[in-house]
Amino acid sequence: MRVFLHKILKKLKIITMKKLQTLSILLFLFSISIHAQGDKHEKIRALKTAFITQELNLTSADAEKFWPVYNSFEQRKHDLKVKERDEIKNKMDNDVLTLSNEDAQILLEKMEYFRNEETKLEIELIKKLKEQLQPIQIIKLKKAEFDFRMQMLKKYRGGKK
């Protein structure tokens, strides 16, 4: 596994022994977690964590501060999405043909509410991260999140062909 990591880091031209050791330790810990739980969501979360840690070039001290804040945000965002799915998407999938105008208006208001709540969460995260990270690291985080999503989509689509 270490050789594989070395090749990846060499291609990215960011090899230092400290970075390699930190990333190796993180991936080792996450691989243990993956085997213990066997859950695909946990596996994706572990891959995302390793990817973001590498992209942000977090030191151990930075990571100790960053991950609790970020994980809390991710959990709150997930909870919001679940609530949105329960209150809106299921209603739209099942009852869209029988909705009255009043019910449709209520759904539109709920959609607006959930978008606003998600935006509030994003703003709150950025404010908290500004206390811990440099602005460029926050921008790199947003790019890393996007890049990770694109990688997962490519992998998913590639498996379908």
Cβ–Cβ under 8 Å, residues 77 and 118: yes
- Domains of the chain, residue spans: 2-160
Q: What is the pLDDT of residue 151?
A: 93
Amino acid at 113: Y
Question: Across all residues in the chain, what is the average pLDDT?
Answer: 82
Residue 75 scores a pLDDT above 90: yes
**Most trustworthy range by pLDDT among 4-13, 27-36, 49-58, 140-149:** 140-149
Residue 33: pLDDT band with limits 50, 70, 90: low
Q: How many CB atoms lie within 10 A of CB 54?
A: 20
Q: What is the pLDDT of residue 25?
A: 60
Nearest 5°: the CA angle 102, 86, 107 is 20
Question: Could you give the percent of the chain with pLDDT greater than 90?
Answer: 48
Q: What is the pLDDT of residues 129-146, one digit of tens each?
A: 999 999 999 999 999 999
d(CA 22, CA 107): 47
Residue 66 scores a pLDDT above 60: yes
Residue 160 scores a pLDDT above 80: no
Residue 35 scores a pLDDT above 70: no
Write a three-state SS string for 41-61.
Answer: HHHHHHHHHHHHHHHHCCCHH
Write a three-state SS string for the chain.
Answer: CHHHHHHHHHHCCCCCHHHHHHHHHHHHHHHHHHHHHCCHHHHHHHHHHHHHHHHHCCCHHHHHHHHHHHHHHHHHHHHHHHHHHHHHHHHHHHHHHHCCHHHHHHHHHHHHHHHHHHHHHHHHHHHHHHCCCCHHHHHHHHHHHHHHHHHHHHHHHHHHC
Q: What is the pLDDT of residue 158?
A: 79
Decide which of 46 and 5 is more confident: 46
Residue 34 scores a pLDDT above 50: no
